[in-house]
Structure 1
Amino acid sequence: MASEHHEVILIGAGYGGLAAAKTYLAVRPSIDLLVIDREAGVGGVWAKNRIYEGLRYEWPTPGANFSDFDMRKQFGMETWEHISGTRMNEYLVRYAERFNIIEKCRFNVNVLDIERDGAQWKIIVRTTSSPSPKSLICDKLIVATGMNSKPKTPELDLSKFDGFSFHSIDMASQYERMIASEVKHVTVVGGHKTALETVGLAARAGKKVEWLIREEGGGTPWMMQATNPDGSFALKPVMIRCFSKFGTSVYKSDQWLNRFFHSGQWALGTWFINWFWKMGTNRVLGDRFKSENGAKLKPKSPSSFWLNPGGTILQEQDLEVLRMIDENQLINVKIAHITQAHGNGVLLNTGEKFETDGIVFCTGWDLSAPPLFSDKLTSDLGLPTPLQSLSAEEIKYWDNLDQPAEDKLVKLYAFLEQPPPSIFVPISTLSPFRLYRQMVPPKLAACDDNSLIFLTNYSTGQVPRTSEIYALWAVAYLENLLPDDTKDILSDKHQMDCDIALNEAYRKKRFLNAHPVRLSVAETSEHDENVLRDLGLRNDRKRMRMPTGWKGWFGLKAWWAEWFEPYFPEEYDGIVDEFLEQVARRSEQAGSQKN
């Protein structure tokens, strides 16, 4: 088998991969870096071959920005302007070209397997242009494949179905087929935002649409209108740091304001936080769900605090689809699932039958780790593993960490023990991700093996910002540049495992096992702050740039800006240079101490 060697190989050219590549080239400009991706170009889910009519990024500008590459300046866009899928792809391509990442990329590369090869890593790949596998060897490996790369489809026999069927990942290539003139009826399966968009695409093309949502599943997500009446972004409060105080906390549970709001020990605090989330829930729900057809899309949870099975943002085209659902002329919502498909007929679990020309599965993604490693290596790296394959010793070890972590959270937040009974809580057959800071395999780190790191194992609305911060942490880890305090933690497997158990307990109790990876809403800033702190960087990005003394009203302006003004991506511009300056200072201090 042919092989080639590189210092660093990065798998994935989406947001996380591009941020990591750009950061690595900034830290080590001469690095022998290879970026591989199975798509035909950069972008990940925003790769050109995955863009279709009507696809949009959920957040408006500047929500898609990297800190030092403003989409508004690149394309002459306004603040809070919506972003098409085509524009997203163009932005990421320009970013890759601007920072010389394109020349490091190799596309149409499918990863078949990853093996340990002594101190190195061996990646077995196959390209679309060559049927023969090839071996890529590297000293350092970054896996940034994202959470939306492996489609999940129901176990349904379609061998006797005469119509078309495909998963939404193939919408770009199948779109024209779905809206062809001979197609009169389309069935859409799934309850999340992609299903809503697909329903809209078919209905606007004049097709009759049957939208099927499983009764026993999580149902539809919380859907919030994107813009306020003044045109500003409705989720702008999420970008304000003080918003984090209205949510529970993983790490700051001992702070008095957190206890006041969420411990249940202060009547006024409990009343206020209940009022806050009630007002938020009413705002999100609005006056929708009044029609019999539309009411089937109402979230199962009574409060938007319990963000299960997730949340999404409605733009004007989505609101149009909801109006069409209320009219109940082209779109019919059914709480049911397909049990059989034969000829052009579909049979539902309710006993109902109807004919359809095609089925589109908007059933989401397999959010477990990509099947790139052997079962033994998967377990050793802290990646999701079938529970039945775990040893009794390993199960006992984690039970002894998980249970105290859960007990601690429930003691702090008693209401987490009794979530609303209407919420669907999935039961996983896999172990959870056991990665420190959602990135590092503890067994390797504790053995001073910093050759592998995982990125993009999180779900957050502020993807670009988090991608850049985590990319810097990842490169610092791989290059052994982290401060000594952080290195001390990384040498202590038990300390890392305790932190992992705490985050896992929070994922299960706060977000009810709805996502196998870290989901964060109000907690996003808390996680990002921890990563910055690990790097030795300041997290009060607004305060550090405000004038002091009387020009800053003796700190009042800085305090107000830090807590009550939106945090935009550009607040993090320069963190790589700040970190490198800090590394240089540490090196000088170490040299002085030796002398």
Structure 2
Amino acid sequence: MDSRYDVVVVGAGLQGLATARKFLQLDPNLNLTVIEQNKTIGGVWAEEKVYTGLSSNSLLGKYEYSDFPMDDSFGLKEGEHIPGRCIHQYFEQYARTFDLKRRIQFQTKVNVAEKIQNGWNLQLENVISNNHTSNGGNKAALPVPAVWNISCAKLIIATGLTSVSEPINIKGRENFTGPIVNFSDYARESSKIYEDDAIKNVTVMGSGKSAYDCVYQMAAHGKTVNFIIRASGHGTCYMGPTYIYLGPFRCVLEKLLTTRLFTFFSPLVWGDADGFGFVRSFLHGTTLGRWVVDRFWDKLGSDLIDQTHIANHPETKKLIPIHKAFWYGINLGILNYPTDVFDFVRSGQVKVIRQDVACLECTKTVKFRDGTTVQTDALVCSMGWRWEPSIEFRPKEIHADLGIPSADLTSTQKEVWDRLNARADLEIFERFPKLMSGPKINHDLLADTEAPRVEASPWRLWRGIAPPAATTRDLVFLGFVLQIQGPIRSEISSIWAYAYMYDKLKGPLKSVAKPSTSLHLGQTLPTEEQLPAAEKGEFDEIMYDTALFNRFGKWRTPWGFGARYPDLAFDSIPYLDLLLRDLGLRSWRKGWGWLGEILGGGYDQADFRGLVEEWKQNQRENDL
């Protein structure tokens, strides 16, 4: 590797590949490299992480980049969910086609990113043995040091939110004599459980789609399963069929979230970025409108439950989500299995247990907080992903300016954010009173049973991408917005990041309504003296935009992930509108004006083709 780069991209998954491709499209002369910890391309879809039976929630045509459709060589049919192996092969083909693979340094981990005068210094670690190639076989084998440093002018963290799994931190796990498998190791370890006839009963802990996947796979391989869902937690996610009926209309569930008409039923803190502020004002600002909105969400939630038939059996009833669908965000799974996963529950092969685990005991016992126990031969934990950065950013004094989760904020930095948050909360509740009535969870009950972590601050990024108070535009975080249409988001956010880093954005732009005039002086924004790291003339707008964006997530999806990072379901298309508007590009892309936007169906890849050339043409016209 070189010692100095123009751009370093960390991560070679969905986001990282799109970012490398778009940056090189915009400037082919960039000295750019990609750092990837895995052996192969794909992130969560890397070859070593894909297990037999793994499939995406997306149908053919919905999980691909706009400029690179899946062709017939993948052997898929229309209306078929994309198998995990095909997604990995697709990323391999994408990287080869656009000559990205030679730029990727595999099995290399970024441990430290330290701010320097002209960019960033990165401490890298070789995660395979020394004197072996760490590039996945794409270059000649050369000796590689265990730890070394490189520097770059621009740093892009594209690892996303699903790169490091939560550790299994259950008291007494050293006493448990059966296999214990973390979901991140499922591809490597699951076959050992399938093939071991001595393992007859498997316990799966978790409540999200990945937990359902593990339950289905274990049951399909003939194991009896204890499906443990934490009683004090969020409960199960909503699970829906691939196709859902809304009244007489048969809709692709995935496509509902990208249909502009349905996005109107979600309140949006960034105002009229989609150009339909008047519709939203009626739906969320009037008594009649709010009644219509409530009926929509009641209907959607009840249809998901009715059409999965889980309310018709005493055991599957335990899998009904505990709150209305409105509060869940993207925490929605699609039933993409060959057979009905709920049949295993109805037959008794899968036993649903709503309890809090206290500890593991000898030899193969799971003990609950109420003193009851279950016996099991193996334990599979799907406890989610670590949402804090896996990279240590130095110095820690800049964590607040960067907007990264941190437990090292100073009292002054906390006070600044507290004041911004208080002001944002007032605006949010004034505009959307419904958000004051959202469900709340007792976080004390969610602490790990053995070693509670100190809770870090949430992600606070401008537009979900950029540090809100950095003095230089040399760092962005891409893929840290949870939403449907990941490939399209990856492409648009990459163009946005390029424009931001090379001072080509139209902004900073105000994307929110003006603060309420009823706010008193104690809740006004801090002065520039209180934020010495902020750029003059931009800090108030960007910092407040960031606080408003973050706090909106906290109140909008309390049963999703919005308190920690952006969690956008029916807000996904308006979020893309926001980024496109910053770039000076049109966000209405259906044709026929507002009529086409409302009646033109869901947005898909074809609607966003040619964005790079469109933006470059826009830049040329602006330069004239």
TM (normalized to structure 1)? 0.89
The alpha-carbon distance between structure 1 residues 89 and 411, as it changes in their structure 2 partners (threshold 3 A), is same
Within the candidate set 588, 609, 623, 1:573 is matched to: 609
1:405-554 pair list within 5 angstroms: 405-420=424-439, 429-444=455-470, 447=471, 449-483=472-506, 492-512=538-558, 514-515=560-561, 516-543=564-591
Cα gap change, 1:124 to 1:420, in 2 (>3 Å): closer
Whether 2:178 is the aligned partner of 1:139: answer no
SS at match of 1:123: strand
1:584 aligned partner: 620
Contact 2:329/2:567, CA 8 A, preserved across alignment? no
How many Å separate the matches in 2 of 1:206 and 1:76? 29
Deviation, 1:362, is: 0.5
Give distance in 1, aligned partners of 2:461 and 2:209: 29
Determine which structure has the larger helix proportion and give its number: 1
Matches within 5 A, 1:111-510: 111-127=110-126, 128-130=128-130, 132-156=146-170, 157-180=172-195, 181-228=197-244, 233-252=252-271, 255-263=277-285, 265-267=286-288, 269-286=289-306, 287-301=309-323, 303-307=324-328, 310-317=331-338, 320-374=340-394, 375-386=396-407, 389-420=408-439, 429-444=455-470, 447=471, 449-483=472-506, 492-510=538-556
Residue identity opposite 1:327 in structure 2: S
The 2-side partners of 1:215 and 1:583 are apart by 54
Q: Distance in 2 between matches of 1:561 and 1:348?
A: 52
What CA deviation, in whole Å up to 9, does each residue of 1:394-430 have, x standing for no partner?
Answer: 2221222211211111111112111246898989822
Deviations 1:364-417 (A, max 9, x none): 01112224314334333111112xx43232222122221121111111111211
1:59 aligned counterpart, secondary structure: strand
- Aligned residue for 1:166, secondary structure, equals strand
Q: Flag structure 2 segments of 5+ consecutive residues without an equivalent.
A: 131-144, 448-453, 511-533
Deviates more, 1:65-74 or 1:31-40: 65-74
Contact kept? 2:227, 2:350, Cα under 8 Å: no
C-alpha distance in structure 2 between counterparts of 1:465 and 1:126, whole Å: 31
Shift of 1:491: 5.8
User: CA 1:233–1:511 in 2, change beyond 3 Å: closer, same or farther?
Assistant: same
Instruction: Tell me how far 1:12 sits from its aligned partner.
Output: 0.4
CA distance 1:491–1:167, change in 2 (3 Å): farther
Contact kept in structure 1, 2:229 and 2:352, CA below 8 Å: no
After superposition, the Cα gap between the structure-2 partners of 1:199 and 1:535, relative to the gap in structure 1 and judged at 3 Å, is same
Structure 1 residues 421 and 406: CA distance shift in structure 2, 3 A: closer
Q: Answer yes or no: is the 8 Å Cα contact 2:165–2:384 preserved in 1.
A: yes
Cα distance change, pair 300–505 in 1 and its aligned pair in 2 (3 A): same
User: Percent of counterpart pairs with the same letter?
Assistant: 26
Alpha-carbon separation, structure 2, partners of 1:565 and 1:228: 15
**Greater Cα shift, 216-225 or 230-239:** 230-239
**Quick check: 2:590–2:596 contact (8 Å CA) kept in 1?**
no
Contact 2:157 2:477 in 1 (8 A): yes
The answer to whether the 8 Å contact 1:36/1:107 transfers is yes
Q: Which residue of 2 aligns with 1:34?
A: 33
Instruction: Show structure 1 runs of 5+ residues with no match.
Output: 544-554, 590-595
Cα RMSD over matched residues?
A: 2.6
- 8 Å CA contact 1:541–1:571 kept in 2: the answer is yes
Alpha carbons of structure 1 residues 18 and 499: separation in structure 2 relative to 1, 3 Å = same
Deviation at 1:90, TM superposition (A): 0.8
Deviates more, 1:239-248 or 1:149-158: 149-158
Residue aligned with 1:188, SS:
strand
